[in-house]
């Protein structure tokens, strides 16, 4: 009998951990209408590192068409197009967000419980104020709503929960955008570039660090 442990893929390992450690919390969230918990069964294999995985290949995605529209509109309020880079939704940030909140890891499950109700709130607030969902508002109307929730420390009591959502969503949007080639270019990030030679840190840097 071969006693060598089988290798387990990330999705399966986290699914087992969630089932053992977080089933009660997950059941509470999904009982509130936030969708079914991601599921997997048994042992699997490691991902094929030579394969290009698309969103939805590893676990089922979450966003409905309506949620995607709202998510895209809000992404583009946070990071709009300018003369240096495209808008967040144009570089796949909505796909990133959808895959992120669909993942069965504890941090992503927690964010799912913030993002989905937050998107529902922002559409409801848009309809209450302007009679249309968020994606159908003009830039001034969208900004009016976001201005009320963009700073948790100064948000009015009735907007504090929405401000918590906005802070999470803004961080995820920025994380998704600035890890794309367009986002790195916008930051003028010059890392991950092949070098013919590497001479090490300059002497002035070594001196400042007390290493010379």
Query: Between residues 31 and 136, which one has the greater pLDDT?
Result: 136
Write down the pTM of the prediction.
Answer: 0.69
pLDDT digits (tens, 9 = 90+) for 24-50: 334 444 444 445 555 555 445 677 888
The confidence score (pLDDT) of residue 38 equals 54
Cβ atoms 76, 41 nearer than 8 A = no
Report the half-sphere exposure of 151 (CA within 13 A, side-chain side): 5
Query: Between residues 50 and 22, which one has the greater pLDDT?
Result: 50
Pick from 77, 82, 76: which is nearest to 143 by CA? Answer: 77
Pick from 27, 32, 42, 36: which is nearest to 61 by CA? Answer: 36
The confidence score (pLDDT) of residue 150 equals 95
What pLDDT band is residue 2 in, cutting at 50, 70 and 90? very low
pLDDT for residue 6 is more than 60: no
* E strand segments, 95-166: none
Query: Between residues 9 and 166, which one has the greater pLDDT?
Result: 166
Print burial letters for 17-49: b (CB count within 10 Å at least 16), e (below 16). ebeeebeeebeebeeeebbebbebeeebeeeee
The confidence score (pLDDT) of residue 30 equals 41
The confidence score (pLDDT) of residue 167 equals 96
The confidence score (pLDDT) of residue 36 equals 55
In terms of phi and psi (left: phi > 0; alpha: psi -120 to 50; beta: otherwise), the region of 198 is beta
pLDDT digits (tens, 9 = 90+) for 138-195: 999 999 999 999 999 999 999 999 999 999 999 999 999 999 999 888 887 777 778 7
Cβ neighbours of 11 (radius 10 Å) = 18
Q: State the average pLDDT for the chain.
A: 82
């Amino acid at each position: 009998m071969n006693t060598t442990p089988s290798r387990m893929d990330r999705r399966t390992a986290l699914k087992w951990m969630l089932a053992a450690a977080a089933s009660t919390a997950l059941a509470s969230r999904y009982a509130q209408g936030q969708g079914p918990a991601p599921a997997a069964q048994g042992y699997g294999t490691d991902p094929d590192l030579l394969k290009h995985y698309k969103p939805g290949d590893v676990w089922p995605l979450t966003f409905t068409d309506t949620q995607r529209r709202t998510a895209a509109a809000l992404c583009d309020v946070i990071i709009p197009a300018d003369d240096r880079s495209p808008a967040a939704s144009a570089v796949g940030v909505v796909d990133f967000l959808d895959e992120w909140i669909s993942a069965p890891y504890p941090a992503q499950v927690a964010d799912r419980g913030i993002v989905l109700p937050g998107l529902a709130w922002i559409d409801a607030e848009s309809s209450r104020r302007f009679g249309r969902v968020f994606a159908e508002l003009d830039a001034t109307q969208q900004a009016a709503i976001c201005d009320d929730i963009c700073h948790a420390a100064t948000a009015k009591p009735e907007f504090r929960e929405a401000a918590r959502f906005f802070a999470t969503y803004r961080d995820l949007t920025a994380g998704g955008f600035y890890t794309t080639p367009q986002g790195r270019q916008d930051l003028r990030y010059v890392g991950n570039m092949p070098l013919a030679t590497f001479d090490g840190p300059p002497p002035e840097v070594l001196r400042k660090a007390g290493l010379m």
